[in-house]
Amino acid sequence: MRNKEYKEKRDFSKTNEPFGDKGKGKTNEPIFVIQKHDASHLHYDFRIEIDGTLKSWSVPKGPSTDPHEKRLAVPTEDHPLEYADFEGMIPEGQYGGGTVMIWDRGTFDNIAEDEKGKPISLKKSYENGTVEIYLKGEKLKGGYALIKMKSGNMEGNWLLIKMDDDKADARRNPVNTETKSVKTGRSLEEIKKEKPK
């Protein structure tokens, strides 16, 4: 079953989150979403489409536009593609209970190449622990790398790093200055007024 862990963690009679058997809709390009999630602690869920599912990381500080910043990205369970459209309240007591905002979303290009300049598939990049993508979001644009740490006490965690390209900007701090939903324009407080299921 696809997204088994995702489904096992949730009681769909209690949460409005999608069961996830519908897919993503129109676009052929791979999609990404960044969901600001105010649960037991505030974090940003970074999700990218690989092989029909949303590979997911929890990024406590959120993404940066400064190539010198390395942001910790803790891998979490795959989410269904439909989840990219989810914004709202997860009831208290349910897995991930709290507020979810679609902070940014869009499509992306896989820009990973081997030493000879040949493209590396997303699946292979993910398995190798080095994903290089070009985001075409509303807030975030340009190259980002996700690098898996393979030794040390952070082994198994990843780092999310802005590539040094023409979209890099050390002065921008979108996590702090661009705080509203790209789907509905709402703030977290406004989403919080929504009645959970």
For Mn ion, the binding residues (CB under 5 A) are: 37, 45
Q: What is the 3-state secondary structure (H, E, C) of 91-105?
A: CCCCCCCEEEEEEEE
Quick check: 71 and 52 in contact, CB under 8 A?
no
Report in angstroms how near the CB of residue 56 gets to Mn ion at its nearest: 8
Query: Which residues, 6+ apart, have CB-to-CB distance to 60 below 8 Å?
Result: 41, 43, 44, 71, 72, 74
Report in angstroms how near the CB of residue 26 gets to Mn ion at its nearest: 26
Question: What is the rounded CA–CA span in Å between residue 18 and residue 86?
Answer: 7
Quick check: 187 and 178 in contact, CB under 8 A?
no
**Counts for the chain of helices (H) and strands (E), in that order:** 4, 9
Report in angstroms how near the CB of residue 118 gets to Mn ion at its nearest: 35
Q: Is the Cβ of residue 164 or residue 194 nearer to Mn ion in the bound state?
A: 194
Q: Which residue has the tokens 């300049």?
A: 117
Q: Is the Cβ of residue 37 or residue 105 nearer to Mn ion in the bound state?
A: 37
Report in angstroms how near the CB of residue 98 gets to Mn ion at its nearest: 8
Q: Is the Cβ of residue 29 or residue 194 nearer to Mn ion in the bound state?
A: 194
Q: Is the Cβ of residue 37 or residue 141 nearer to Mn ion in the bound state?
A: 37
